[in-house]
Amino acid sequence: MSGVSVSSLSVSGVSFHLAGESLRSLPPDRDECRRMIRRLVRKLGIAPVAGLLSVENRQLAHWLTPEGFWKPRDRKLVWLIYALHFEPRKLSSTFDLITCGRFLADE
């Protein structure tokens, strides 16, 4: 596979091979992030959420607009903070962290 990076990850003796593009598509999309931030703000307030995400209040407010620009690392950080508060089971392994908890079995 020329031009495609492949990452291998072994979890509990099981190996996973994920193409680089697949890994980049795992963080939540912009709409998911907006929903997560709104829920965090309702629970904690805008200033604490901005502080947790290491951005100014105005940057956080901009992210909530349709024009808001999101880098993949920003989306992953929003997911991580959200999961800490609302879905801690999605943080139980390195694999869960890498894949943003996308492959958990439903309970």
Average pLDDT over residues 47-69: 91
Which H or E element spans position 99?
none
Q: What is the pLDDT of residue 3?
A: 45
- Residue 21: pLDDT band (50, 70, 90) is very low
What is the average pLDDT across 64-85?
89
pLDDT of 41 reads: 96
| Cβ-contact 29, 71 below 8 angstroms | no
Residue type, 63: W
What is the CB neighbour count within 10 angstroms for residue 11?
12
pTM over 0.75? The answer is: no
* Mean predicted confidence (pLDDT) in 53-62: 92
Could you tell me the pLDDT band of residue 15, with boundaries at 50, 70 and 90?
low
Q: Where are the chain's structural domains?
A: 27-98
